[in-house]
């Protein structure tokens, strides 16, 4: 989503990516984002640096972990965004403060991602 947002800002407003301040807020971390082959194959097909952000999950054979924070950071950086902050807060690890559908299923609330022009 962030990549598409930057593309739209560049097209609509002539935004220079170097002027963008990006923050990757609380979300599932690589510690918890476990996937299997179909997701890994999709990442490998669509992301040039996929091998840098996909890891074998040592706890379960045939499962992988993906670093979505680094994925988004690199996609933004490749577009020229230089000021990128990552909160480092995993929503699945910290269900006292955040909701996690993967962990809580239907017994959870909702969260929102915000992208805005200032």
C-alpha to C-alpha distance for 32 and 70, rounded to whole angstroms: 14
38 has pLDDT over 90:
yes
Mind listing the pLDDT tens digit for each residue in 41-80?
999 999 999 999 999 999 999 999 999 999 999 999 999 9
Please tell me whether residue 62 adopts helix, strand or coil conformation.
coil
Split at pLDDT 50, 70, 90, the class of 92 is confident
C-alpha to C-alpha distance for 92 and 66, rounded to whole angstroms: 14
**Over the chain, what is the mean pLDDT?**
86
Is residue 31 within 8 A of residue 65, CB to CB? The reply is yes
**2-104 is a CATH 3.40.120.10 domain:** no
Instruction: Please tell me what DSSP assigns to residue 19.
Output: G
Q: Name the residue with higher pLDDT: 51 or 104.
A: 51
106 has pLDDT over 90:
no
Q: Name the residue with higher pLDDT: 12 or 104.
A: 12
């Amino acid at each position: 989503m962030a990549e598409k947002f930057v593309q739209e800002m560049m097209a609509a407003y002539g935004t220079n990516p170097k002027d963008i301040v990006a923050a990757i807020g609380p979300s599932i971390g690589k510690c918890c984002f476990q996937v299997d082959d179909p997701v890994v194959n999709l990442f490998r097909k669509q992301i040039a640096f996929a091998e840098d952000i996909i890891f074998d999950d040592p706890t379960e054979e045939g499962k992988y972990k993906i670093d979505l924070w680094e994925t988004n950071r690199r996609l933004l950086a490749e577009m020229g965004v230089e000021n990128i902050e990552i909160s480092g807060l995993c929503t699945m690890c910290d269900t006292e403060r955040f909701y996690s559908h993967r962990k809580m299923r239907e017994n959870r609330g909702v969260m929102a991602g915000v992208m805005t022009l200032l």
